Chains A and B, each alone.
Chain A
């Protein structure tokens, strides 16, 4: 190692020791609040939701046209939530095109428009069911 390199490394070590910034304390509190706010759905409730989803999905598909849905629809090809698996409910703002990909039949919409939806997320972070909140 050359003298220049040694001096550079000494300078970098001094710079590291001199940098004592920490994130604001309010950030930890905000994250903990978010953690506690996270809605955890137990398996029995998730089972009830998915059962309702199945029934509603059948009903939806039997209707000739629809513009919006009030209940959960299972995401196509998603794995059912396991008996000991937790799920969470997350409200998101998504493009209507994404809803169409998830199986919701939304007619006469602007593809660029965004809507609010509740999404049931499995432990693996994958969406399992979706419910439209606002009409496009």
Chain B
């Protein structure tokens, strides 16, 4: 990509979404900024890496961002991106309602609960529930089947309800 006007338009259309995705995934503004920079630098230096015949550029950028986030998280050794057995410490869903999660104080708790999800569940919540990507677009970004996105999202929401239920009862 060498046209500054085309690049600027593409950047302004997608950078905020990529930044917020990286921010939700990492919890760090510096990582979010680095990932956003790396994604668009990749477009500058390797424009051929995007093949328009394989889908829209939005999910492609999410996929690239996902890889950079994964690299950052693994570098920090805070968490293993795809490791199993990551649901340790979570609780079963209680029957009581969650209360009004749109209240400011509960939003912060919900944000923390999303951030505490295992990465493979967190990314589908961030993509589909927070950034309103379609299941198909999320599947393209993650490079998995649409059914996998659906099942991970279902599991992620169950985990979130469990976490929030626990917080409400503490």
Contacts and interface: CB of A to CB of B under 8 A. Distances in A.
Interface of A: 3-5, 7-16, 18-19, 21-24, 27-28, 30-32, 34-36, 38, 40, 86, 88, 90, 121, 123-125
Given A4-B161, A8-B101, A16-B132, A24 B107 contact: no
Contacts of B29: 21
Interface in B109-134: 110-111, 114, 125, 129-132
A47 B8 CA distance: 31
A15 B111 contact: yes
A11 B107 contact: yes
Interface string B11-49: 110011001100110000100110011001100111111
A67 B15 CA distance: 45
Contacts of B49: 125
A81 to B, nearest CB: 14
Nearest to A125: B46
B53 interface: no
A15 B114 contact: yes
A36 B165 CA distance: 52
Interface in B45-86: 45-49
Interface residues of B, number: 48
A16 B4 contact: no
A8 B161 contact: yes
B101 A16 contact: no
Chain B contact surface mostly: helix
B97 interface: yes
A95 B78 CA distance: 29
B54 to A, nearest CB: 16
Contacts of B37: 27, 30-31
B88 interface: no
A3 B94 CA distance: 12
Given A11-B107, A22-B16, A30-B37, A5 B7 contact: no
A11 B130 CA distance: 10
Nearest to B102: A14
Given A4-B161, A8-B160, A11-B107, A32 B4 contact: yes
B98 interface: yes
22 contacts: A4-B165, A5-B157, A8-B161, A11-B101, A12-B125, A14-B102, A15-B130, A18-B107, A21-B19, A21-B29, A23-B15, A23-B33, A28-B11, A28-B15, A32-B8, A35-B1, A38-B2, A38-B44, A40-B2, A90-B45, A123-B47, A125-B47
A11 B110 contact: yes
